Amino acid sequence: MKNINSVKVLKLLSLCALIICLFGCKNELKKVEISSDNKRPNILYIMSDDHASNAISAYGSRLKDIAPTPNIDRIAKEGILMENVFCTNAICTPSRAVIMTGKYSQNNGVKTLDDDFDKEQENVAKILQKSGYQTAMIGKWHLHTEPTGFDYYNVLPGQGKYNNPLLKEIGKPWKHHKKGGVKHKGYVTDVITDQTIKWLDGRDKEKPFFVMSHHKAPHGLWEYAERHAELFKDDHIPEPESLWDDKNHGPLKGAKYGSSISDRYATRNMLDQVTKGKWPTGNLDPAGMTHKELVSATYQKYLKDYLRTAAAIDENVGRILDYLDENGLTENTIIIYTSDQGQFLGEHDYFDKRWMYEESLRMPFVMRYPKEIKPNQRNSDMTLNVDFAPTFLDYAGVKTVPKDMQGKSFRENLKGNTSKNWRTSMYYRYWMHMAHHYNPAHYGIRTENYKLIFFYGLPLDATNKSSKDKFHKIPTEPYWELYDLKKDPNEMNNVYDNPEYLEIVKKLKEDLLKLKEETGDTDEKYPELIEVRENYWN
């Protein structure tokens, strides 16, 4: 009798265990449901910092012949070049948070350079890791808190150094995000690629991988590798027409805000740096130069140093492509090259980014995946950095995308199957009012044909703790800008006050409010902004 009862108890316990297991498995599947179709691809995501589309020769800018990027171009030739990829907040830390979460800045909690990334929230690496991918993050992280969702990381503290950089490796205590790390001898772009290849060599080859290899370059200040010191030495870098002629572009005709090449805005300009001993790779002697000659020489100095740092990136992209080829990984690996946002290369006399103008809004994006993407493709669909995470999950066969991810997968777009309801407009917002580079806070809408920007000029809840400037605490005069992108693709003429565009402005404002509602960024939480809108909206 005793034995029979024991058997019954054991059977009951086994049944309970089976039920628990089944429910547990079911719950786990609810978290990450995986497609059982084909072999899942590897994903190698290479991102630089501040690499303008105009500095990648595949995009066909004025620099394409003098500063070619053959290895980045190779990805486009063997895959696809995307012409209209935009960021939703053109500054480093916020853009990276958007890419990781698939959510806009106002929803992922990172609006400025000073905001800490909430590492407890879901991110694309965590989801891929749960689905069976090996995950790694190497290089510039820049999100303050310890990377999560990665089986391995080895990241720069803060911005990191160009030469003999420190790297913070997983397994060591994570303290302040700008401190710590082990010194690695060499140039940072080479070191990050070395570490990426080292991880690829040691990975579990039975699993697919997701690797984020993030470069510091070509972020300022532009310290190039020693091997590139003579590159472009005797060349004249073509100047953008708008370096000299702002016409009716920008705030108060471009004379007050932003960081300039010339001394147009005396508080922050490059001319001062290169003539007063503040430039990291040598300075200019202004003796005997006219003002125009000095501005032109300053532009040449900036562009040559910038393009030299970009040259090292292209070389290292080539190393990665060779590694994939040599190890039989090319066919089943998605490889992407992009930047966290764009960068001004003298257009409108600007450097840096932040503005909603095309040069900083636009992200380069080239991608190769031989199994699905035919060679030499181009795509002009309006795509955003908020779309990256859902797209990675789509390729990985992950069916259960978090409901709070606001982006859309553009996988079908890349195959030429763009849906009829794909977006035709986008919402942008820059929060860091007058911090560092004296750009007023603003938001706006970009459509295929127009761009409407509202410079509301208030600091609101952007703390800007890292800024030593007093300006970020002071409101600036609100104003509007409208650009007709078909007639004026270089944004030289603000037509907001032109009566011919009265109905267009009205419609764009209505659409802007709809986008704010859709993206979860309504103004009701800011009474002072509502007051500004009441005075300047109509």
Q: Which residues partner with 248 through β-bridges?
A: 493
In angstroms, the CA 473 to CA 470 distance is 6
- What local confidence, expressed as pLDDT, does residue 468 receive? 60
| φ, ψ dihedrals at 393, nearest 5° | -65, -35
Tell how strand 442-447 and strand 450-455 pair up.
antiparallel
- What local confidence, expressed as pLDDT, does residue 362 receive? 98
Task: Spell out the alpha helix ranges (H) of 144-290.
Answer: 188-202, 270-275
Give me 275's structure tokens: 């003539």
Helix, strand, coil percent values for the chain (each to nearest 5): 35, 15, 50
**Span 423-472, pLDDT tens digits:** 999 999 999 999 888 899 999 999 999 999 999 999 987 555 555 655 57
| φ, ψ dihedrals at 340, nearest 5° | -70, -20
- Of the candidates 162, 72, 87, 64, the residue with the CA atom closest to the CA atom of residue 343: 87
**Residues of the chain under the 50 pLDDT cut:** 1-30
- What local confidence, expressed as pLDDT, does residue 473 receive? 78
With H, G, I as helix, E, B as strand and everything else as coil, classify residue 363.
Answer: strand
- Of the candidates 284, 278, 164, 283, the residue with the CA atom closest to the CA atom of residue 225: 164
- What local confidence, expressed as pLDDT, does residue 474 receive? 85
Tell how strand 383-384 and strand 85-86 pair up.
parallel
With H, G, I as helix, E, B as strand and everything else as coil, classify residue 207.
Answer: coil
In angstroms, the CA 107 to CA 341 distance is 19
- What local confidence, expressed as pLDDT, does residue 33 receive? 62
With H, G, I as helix, E, B as strand and everything else as coil, classify residue 535.
Answer: helix
b (16+ CB within 10 A) / e for 261-283: bbbbbeebbbbbbbbeeebeeee
| Confidence (pTM) | 0.92
Give the number of other Cβ atoms within 10 Å of residue 29's Cβ.
Answer: 12
- What local confidence, expressed as pLDDT, does residue 32 receive? 61
**Span 248-292, pLDDT tens digits:** 888 766 678 999 999 988 778 999 999 999 999 999 999 999 999
Opening angle at CA 268, ends 265 and 270, nearest 5: 95
- What local confidence, expressed as pLDDT, does residue 400 receive? 86
In angstroms, the CA 88 to CA 443 distance is 10
329 CB-contact burial (10 Å; exposed 0-12 / middle 13-18 / buried 19+): middle
- What local confidence, expressed as pLDDT, does residue 12 receive? 46
Find out whether the peptide bond into 218 is cis, omega within 30 degrees of 0. Answer: yes
In angstroms, the CA 299 to CA 281 distance is 14
- Of the candidates 266, 282, 339, 309, the residue with the CA atom closest to the CA atom of residue 99: 339
Question: In the chain, what are the domains?
Answer: 42-227+298-419 (3.40.720.10)
Tell which phi-psi region holds residue 127, choosing left (phi > 0), alpha (psi between -120 and 50) or beta. alpha
The full DSSP string for 450-482 is EEEEEE----TT---TT---SGGGS----EEEE
